[in-house]
Every structure is written in C-alpha cells, then in structure tokens.
C-alpha cells in the first residue's frame, strides 16, 4: 500500500507515523499541507501534533489547508483515512467525522499509556484486531475529550461506529469514546497513538496491527 502522511505546520507525529507505516511494510511518503493531491496514495494518515498552534480550536485552521480538499475527495470515494490525535480533531472540524474534541475534563495535558478496547473491527485499520481485545498505547493531548449531542452518540453506538473505548477514561470523553468511524467505515479518528506502540522498545507493539492490517484490501464503498 502507498501511504501518505500529511504534514501540517505544527505536526509532530508525522515521522513516527511514517516509520510505523514503513515498519508494517508499506511505501510511505510525506505530503505537505499545501499540496493539491495525495501523490497517488491508497491510504491517508493525518498525524498528531499541534497544527497551526491549535489556534482558535485544535484542527479548526488545518481543515482549510489545500490538501484537505484532496483528503475529503479521497474519503468520499471510499479511500481509507485515519486521523490520530490532532488528525482526529481535524477530521471532526472538517465534518468527515461527527462531534468535537474539547479541553480535557481535568484541564491537564495527559501524556501516558492507556488501555483501549477494540469495539469495531469493521474498518480497514482495525481488521487485524478482534472486538473486545484490549490494547496498550499512549495518549498525549490537552484537548481529547470527545463530545457530541446525545442523538449523535446514540447513533454512533447503534451503528457500531465507536471503534475504541477507554478502559480508564483519561480525559472525560463522553461514553469513554477514544475513537470512532464514519458510516462507511473508511474514515477513522482516534486520540491514542498507535504509531507510538509499534516496537517493544517503545513499551508496546499493540499498535502495529493497525498498520499491518492495511495489507488487506481496503473497504471501498
């Protein structure tokens, strides 16, 4: 698979995401946020960081970067897109996923390993896991509390679109939501960092299957 890792000014998990994709056997390259295309990539990763310094709201400015038109077109055509941390915030601001990530309940920046439970394997990124499996990977965010109105939350639950749930909620996210997907399943957003859990040296390899799983043909609508 050819994987594009989009770099915004302020991205800081871009190199880690590229490394994880390569470790899983993919051909990965960076795409600058001003690019009008995705250089023929099959899969898009919006990495973590602080695009545009989190000014206004995290992801609020990045969503208007030129590359986001190509990302949106890719997503609408069924192409796999994953937003990790700041990438998740950008996907919500871009309305590719519902809801929003707001300031952590405790106000503190939370940077530590957490446990998440896989709630959906019906995405190109989680097909390598089984539902109910618990994974260990780090979170590192100040604005990671997932919120949406009750109707949206009920719909996400009913449609099986909650992808990851915290076991021990670090930020006050409603219904312990750590990651969700769009209706079709090809767009996933998550606050924890699977790309920081791909080698035993990093303390966990639980995130690797997320990138390995992409070898399986993508779910295309």
Partner 1 sequence: MTHWIGRVRVMPRAGLLDPQGHAVEHALGALGFDGVQRVRVGRTVEIALEAGSEPEVRDRLRQMCEKLVANPVTEDFTIDAVEAAP
* Residues in contact with partner 1 by the rule CB under 8 A: 56-57, 60, 64, 92-93, 98-100, 102-107, 147-149, 172
| Active-site annotation holds for 195 | yes
Which one of 33, 74, 119, 195 is the catalytic residue?
Answer: 195
CB of 105 to partner 1, least distance (A): 6
Compare residues 11 and 104 and give the one whose CB is closer to partner 1.
104
CB of 32 to partner 1, least distance (A): 22
Compare residues 150 and 201 and give the one whose CB is closer to partner 1.
150
Compare residues 43 and 187 and give the one whose CB is closer to partner 1.
187
Which one of 85, 92, 93, 141 is the catalytic residue?
Answer: 85
> Within 10 Å of residue 182's Cβ, how many Cβ atoms?
19
| Active-site annotation holds for 105 | no
Provide CB contacts within 8 A for 68, sequence distance 6+: 33, 62, 90, 94
Q: How far is CA 189 from the centre of its chain?
A: 3
CA–CA separation, 24 and 132 (whole Å): 23
Q: Is residue 103 within 8 Å of residue 142, measured between CB atoms? A: yes
Nearest Cα to Cα of residue 154 among 93, 99, 115? 99
| Active-site annotation holds for 193 | yes
Active site residues: 85, 193, 195
């Amino acid at each position: 698979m050819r994987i594009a890792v989009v770099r915004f000014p302020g991205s800081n998990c871009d190199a880690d995401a590229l490394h994880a994709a390569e470790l899983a056997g993919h051909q990965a390259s960076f795409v600058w946020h001003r690019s009008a295309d995705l250089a023929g990539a099959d899969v898009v990763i919006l990495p973590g960081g602080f695009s545009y310094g989190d000014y206004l709201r995290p992801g609020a400015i990045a969503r208007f970067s030129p590359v986001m038109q190509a990302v949106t077109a890719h997503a609408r055509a069924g192409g796999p897109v994953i937003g990790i941390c700041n990438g998740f915030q950008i996907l919500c601001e871009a309305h590719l996923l519902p809801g929003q990530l707001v300031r952590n309940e405790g106000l503190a920046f939370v940077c530590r390993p957490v446990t998440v439970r896989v709630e959906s394997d019906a995405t190109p990124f989680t097909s390598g896991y089984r539902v109910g499996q618990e994974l260990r990977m780090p979170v590192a965010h100040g604005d990671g509390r997932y919120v949406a109105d009750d109707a949206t939350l009920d719909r996400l639950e009913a449609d099986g679109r909650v992808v990851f749930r915290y076991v021990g909620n670090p930020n006050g996210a409603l219904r312990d939501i750590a990651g969700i997907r769009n209706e079709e399943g090809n767009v996933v957003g998550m606050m924890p960092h699977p790309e920081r859990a791909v080698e035993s040296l990093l303390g966990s390899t639980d995130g690797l299957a997320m990138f390995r799983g992409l070898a399986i043909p993508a779910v295309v609508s």
